[in-house]
Amino acid sequence: MSATGVDFEINNSTNDLEVKILSNLYDMNQKTVACSLHGTQKIGLLCTHLAHSLLDQSSVGFHEYNDGDLGRPDAWCHECDAKLQKVTGDSEQEQWFLACDYKILCASCWDEAKELNIR
């Protein structure tokens, strides 16, 4: 478990971060997640790089867009933002979103990631 109460695991075969949130802990209708550190919270989405930053406490930059449908806005790092700046159409934007490999975290963990990455 990480310091943020979200279970993270590095998949050694792909070197990818896997955020372990059991399906019974995530309520799609209520848009909440049961965080082991913060309890039941609204959710926020972070790109995989921001989620990784919580593990190694490295700053990767912070960008957000609030469409108002979740507890926190979608957020992404400088690397993902540089790719977003090259997007020219809807299909490219969808591909960009998928490439960000967003992770579901509780709103308090999201807040911790923002604080770490806006320094």
User: Residue range 5-18: average pLDDT?
Assistant: 45
Residue 15 DSSP symbol: T
Residues in the chain: 119
pLDDT tens, residue by residue, 21-44 = 333 355 556 788 888 888 889 988
Is 1 within the bounds of a domain? no
Query: Is residue 48 situated within a structural domain?
Result: yes
Per the structure, the count of domains in the chain is 1
Which tokens sit at 52?
């990784």
Q: What is the pTM of this model?
A: 0.74
**Residue-range definition of the domain harbouring residue 41:** 7-117
CA 111 to chain centre: 11
- pLDDT exceeds 50 at position 20: no
